[in-house]
Structure 1
Amino acid sequence: MLAVQDLYLSFGGIKALQGVSFAAQPGQITAIIGPNGAGKTSLFNAISGFYRPDNGKVIFDGQDITALRPDKRAELGIARTFQNIALFRGMSVLDNIKLGAHTRLKAGVFDALRYFGRAQAEELELRADIEQRVIEFLEIDHIRKAPVSALPYGLQKRVELGRALAMRPRLLMLDEPVAGMNREETEDMARFILDVQEEFGTTILLVEHDMHLVMDICTHVVVLNFGAQIASGPPETVRMDAAVIEAYLGAAA
């Protein structure tokens, strides 16, 4: 579903990515891990189109998307969440989630301004779909009319996941989905991620520091350190890799 080929990215003298290559298989969960500053979010930004790599390619479902704008990648079915929550805090939960479906709407500007006929029918259909497929799925029906700013952190992260799911993504990119969560919130989010994979068949790529989560739900792990890829493989293999142990724990440990 996704292939990253020999990706390089630099900012002045800082080498954010140095020849990173890996593949994410359809319907599986692939994790990108590494210490702080390893280049994980830079890699996400290169895949989703926020950064243009200096060299290398990003291939999505057989198509070279390296030069595509972020909105065009979204139309192909690539959705993401962010390390720092990027919701519209003054809007309701439902309205935030509906925004994620903008790539699927066909009504033009004039139809939307009049809000009649095609635009109105499309809006009602979208709302029904989101309420049934996303809001009920994420168990947030009781807060759908609440402003995002009034929600606790864990629920805001769930709403952001809902906005990404509203796009009906083929590739779902999750940037630290359980960062800052307590154990109960982490377990809930892990369950939702697995349910997305199993029920929708979505390919998932995630960046995460919680190694228990990564080892429990992922089928493939890619490890970065100072922008370079130092390991790649199944979780049980990666966790025993000497270079990974050194990068996380230090040689003495």
Structure 2
Amino acid sequence: MLSVSDLHLSFGGIKALQGVNFEAKEGEITGVIGPNGAGKTSLFNAISGFYAPDKGTVTFDGDDITGISPDKRASLGMARTFQNIALFRGMTVLDNIKLGGHTRLKTGLFSAFKYFGSARAEELELRRDIEERVIDFLEIDHIRKYPITMLSYGLQKRVELARALAMRPRVLLLDEPVAGMNREETADMARFILDVQEQFGTTILLVEHDMHMVMDICSHIVVLNFGQQIASGTPAEVSQNPAVIEAYLGAAA
């Protein structure tokens, strides 16, 4: 569903990515791990179109999407969350989630401006879909009318996931979905991610520092260190890889 081939990215003299290669198989959860500064978020930004790579290709369902804009990638079925929460703080939970679904609306500018006919019907259908398929699924019906500023950090992360799911993504990029969460919130988020994969068949690529969660829910793991890919394989293979152990723990003197 998603593949990265020989991806290079630099900022001046800093090489953020150097020849990264991997595939995220359809309907599976693929994890990207590595120490701080390894290039994980830079990789996500290159995949989602925020950064233009110096070299290499990003392929989505067999099509080269390296040169297209983030909004075009979203319309193809690619959604993402962010390491730092990127919600609209002056809006309610429901309004934030509805924004994700607007990539699927087909109403023209004139009818949308006047808000009649097909525009109104589409908006109502979008709201019903979000209420039935997303809000109930993520168990956030009780906060749907709350402003974002009233929510805990963990609930804000869940709302950001809901906004991404409102896009009906074929590929979902999750950038540190449980960062800063306590144990109970982490367990809930891991359960929701597994449910998204199992119930919707979504291909998921996630960056995460919580190794217990990554090892539990991912079928394949890619390891980066200083922008280079040092390992790739199943959780069991990666956890026993000497290069991975050295990158995380340091080599013995």
TM-score range normalised by the length of the shorter chain:
over 0.9
- In the alignment, residue 23 of structure 1 is paired with which amino acid? E
Aligned equivalents of 1:128, 1:169: Cα separation in 2 = 18
User: Could you tell me which residue of structure 1 aligns to residue 60 of structure 2?
Assistant: 60
Q: CA deviation at 1:87?
A: 0.1
Aligned equivalents of 1:164, 1:87: Cα separation in 2 = 11
Give deviations 1:40-93, integer Å, cap 9, x for gaps.
000000000000000000000000000010000000000000000000011000
Matches within 5 A, 1:96-111: 96-111=96-111
Aligned equivalents of 1:101, 1:63: Cα separation in 2 = 23
2:26 is the alignment partner of 1:26: yes
Higher alpha-carbon deviation: 107-116 or 38-47? 107-116
Q: Can you give the 5+ residue segments of structure 2 that lack an aligned partner in the other structure?
A: none
Aligned equivalents of 1:183, 1:247: Cα separation in 2 = 25
Q: CA deviation at 1:126?
A: 0.4
User: Could you tell me which residue of structure 1 aligns to residue 135 of structure 2?
Assistant: 135
SS in 2 for 1:101: helix
So what's the TM-score if we normalise by structure 2? 0.99
- In the alignment, residue 86 of structure 2 is paired with which amino acid? A
Aligned equivalents of 1:184, 1:41: Cα separation in 2 = 25
Aligned equivalents of 2:3, 2:138: Cα separation in 1 = 29
Aligned equivalents of 2:116, 2:58: Cα separation in 1 = 40
2:84 is the alignment partner of 1:84: yes
- In the alignment, residue 243 of structure 1 is paired with which amino acid? A
- In the alignment, residue 40 of structure 1 is paired with which amino acid? K
User: Could you tell me which residue of structure 1 aligns to residue 236 of structure 2?
Assistant: 236
User: Could you tell me which residue of structure 1 aligns to residue 200 of structure 2?
Assistant: 200
SS in 1 for 2:90: coil
Aligned equivalents of 1:49, 1:236: Cα separation in 2 = 32
Aligned equivalents of 1:65, 1:102: Cα separation in 2 = 21
RMSD of the TM alignment (CA)? Answer: 0.7
Q: CA deviation at 1:252?
A: 2.1
Q: CA deviation at 1:95?
A: 0.3
Percent pairwise identity: 79
Q: CA deviation at 1:103?
A: 1.1
Give deviations 1:104-138, integer Å, cap 9, x for gaps.
00111111111111111111000000000000000
SS in 2 for 1:38: coil
Q: CA deviation at 1:16?
A: 0.2
SS in 2 for 1:9: strand
User: Could you tell me which residue of structure 1 aligns to residue 118 of structure 2?
Assistant: 118
Aligned equivalents of 2:60, 2:115: Cα separation in 1 = 35
SS in 2 for 1:50: coil
User: Could you tell me which residue of structure 2 aligns to residue 214 of structure 1?
Assistant: 214
- In the alignment, residue 164 of structure 1 is paired with which amino acid? A
Q: Can you give the 5+ residue segments of structure 1 that lack an aligned partner in the other structure?
A: none
- In the alignment, residue 99 of structure 1 is paired with which amino acid? L
- In the alignment, residue 183 of structure 2 is paired with which amino acid? R
- In the alignment, residue 17 of structure 2 is paired with which amino acid? L
Aligned equivalents of 1:252, 1:140: Cα separation in 2 = 48
SS in 2 for 1:19: strand
Aligned equivalents of 2:252, 2:151: Cα separation in 1 = 43
- In the alignment, residue 38 of structure 1 is paired with which amino acid? A
Aligned equivalents of 1:112, 1:144: Cα separation in 2 = 24
Aligned equivalents of 1:106, 1:57: Cα separation in 2 = 30
Aligned equivalents of 2:116, 2:59: Cα separation in 1 = 40
Structure 1 residue ranges, 4+ long, deviating more than 4 angstroms after superposition: none
Pairs aligned (count):
253
Give deviations 1:140-167, integer Å, cap 9, x for gaps.
0000000011100000000000000000
